[in-house]
Amino acid sequence: MGDFKNLVYEKKGLVGVLKINRPEVLNALNSEVLVEMSAFLDEFEQDKTVRVLVITGEGKAFVAGADIKAMHSMTQLEGREFSMLGHSVFSKIENLSIPVIAAVNGFALGGGCELAMACDIRWASEKAKMGQPEVGLGITPGFGGTQRLARICGPAIAKELIFTGAVIDANRAREIGLVTNVLPLDTFMDEVMKLAEQIASQGPVAVTLSKAAINKGFDSTFATGAMYESEVFGLCMSHPQAKEGFSAFIEKRKADWNKE
Ligand code: DAK
């Protein structure tokens, strides 16, 4: 994996852990970080030995937002490029073939909350604080917050959070379904790794196709989504991993997903 100034990547067995590493500004996202993330994701997608990606932040923040100081001096054109870059990175995460877990260790505000929402699963430490405080800066969320928050938590919650700019704690984030688990900070990453390993131990093709089917369903009618589900189910049935999964169950043994 290439050398990055603002990212630290570590592969732990079947799980990749990507840390946003700009703690002096609470991991705020500037163009440089986003360009690095984009390059990382392109390279990472080629590594077929990793089955789950965990994204987290160094220090006391997950990501405290887009870089306010960098945005302050942006021209209209630069703002447009910045927005397009962010959208492209977040969409790469959303469409990565394997599951991505946001390990929300601390502040996940604005672009940081949006980054977490582009991931498939969000777990938070008790120290996490989340929200979309952009309107307090006179701007709207710009990296998909108005769309993803409404899809994840429903429009009323999204409107309440975005209109007020409220910063909520981890337990409130769990209550509204923004995160699905809250854990003490000292065991947080261990528990996230257990979740990642649990996913990594499942049939890899089935996990990948399930992610694709769920994502596809959100952008289509139920009927189209159900049709797509039938297609991916058929694909699974034609893959050796399904044969191996069924055989392992019948023979009362653990499946070996590497078996052809
Ligand atoms: N950007 C730049 N620097 C930041 C930052 C940010 N988002 N958040 C924190 N920092 C910097 C602080 O300025 C400080 O730097 P120095 O002053 O030491 O040089 C350092 O990180 C440590 O922060 P604090 O001293 O403030 O730490 P505290 O623990 O006291 O407070 C805090 C933590 C998270 C409550 C506070 O830092 C804070 O309120 N930060 C800003 C949070 C925020 O408002 N986030 C949303 C940013 S707006 C778009 C694309 C994207 C977006 C919008 C449009 N288009 C292009 C359309 C997204 C916008 C956002 O994300």
Establish if 64 belongs to a structural domain.
yes
Residue 126 to residue 43: CA distance in whole angstroms: 33
In the DSSP assignment, the letter for residue 165 is: T
Both tokens of 147, joined, read 């769309």
pLDDT at 260 over 70: no
191 and 224 part of one domain: no
What's the number of domains the chain is made of? 2
Task: Quick: pLDDT tens for 106-152.
Answer: 999 999 999 999 999 999 999 999 999 999 999 999 999 999 999 99
124 and 189 part of one domain: yes
From the alpha carbon of 74, which atom of ligand 1 is closest?
A: 56
Residue 114 falls in the annotated catalytic set: yes
Establish if 259 belongs to a structural domain.
no
Task: Find out whether the beta carbon of 90 lies less than 6 Å from any atom of ligand 1.
Answer: no
Per-residue pLDDT, averaged over 89-109, amounts to: 98
Task: Find out whether the beta carbon of 97 lies less than 6 Å from any atom of ligand 1.
Answer: no
From the alpha carbon of 110, which atom of ligand 1 is closest?
A: 61
Range of the domain at 223: 204-250
- Catalytic residue chosen out of the listed positions 134, 160, 175, 260: 134
DSSP 33-75: HHHHHHHHHHHHHT-TT--EEEEEESTTEEE--B-HHHHHT--
Where would I find the H helices in 73-169? 76-95, 111-118, 145-153, 155-164
pTM of the complete model: 0.97
CATH number of the domain that residue 226 is part of: 1.10.12
CATH number of the domain that residue 46 is part of: 3.90.226.10
Both tokens of 16, joined, read 């990749």
Task: Find out whether the beta carbon of 68 lies less than 6 Å from any atom of ligand 1.
Answer: yes
Per-residue pLDDT, averaged over 22-50, amounts to: 97
Q: Which of 6, 20, 25 to mutate to test the pocket of ligand 1 (most atoms within 8 A of CB)?
A: 25
Residue 24 falls in the annotated catalytic set: no
Both tokens of 113, joined, read 């909350």
Residue 32 to residue 37: CA distance in whole angstroms: 9
CA angle 170, 101, 199 (to 5 degrees): 120
Phi/psi at 44 (5° precision) = -60, -40
Task: Find out whether the beta carbon of 204 lies less than 6 Å from any atom of ligand 1.
Answer: no
pLDDT at 2 over 90: no
What residue's CA is closest to ligand 1, atom 2?
Answer: 67
Phi/psi at 122 (5° precision) = -125, 120
pLDDT at 256 over 90: yes
pLDDT at 183 over 70: yes
pLDDT of residue 1: 79
What residue's CA is closest to ligand 1, atom 41?
Answer: 64
Residue 172 to residue 157: CA distance in whole angstroms: 11
Residue 99 to residue 105: CA distance in whole angstroms: 18
The rounded mean pLDDT for the chain is 96
41 and 143 part of one domain: yes
104 and 164 part of one domain: yes
C-alpha of residue 171 to centroid of ligand 1, in Å: 22
For a pLDDT cut of 90, what percent of the chain falls above it?
A: 95
What residue's CA is closest to ligand 1, atom 6?
Answer: 67
pLDDT of residue 211: 97
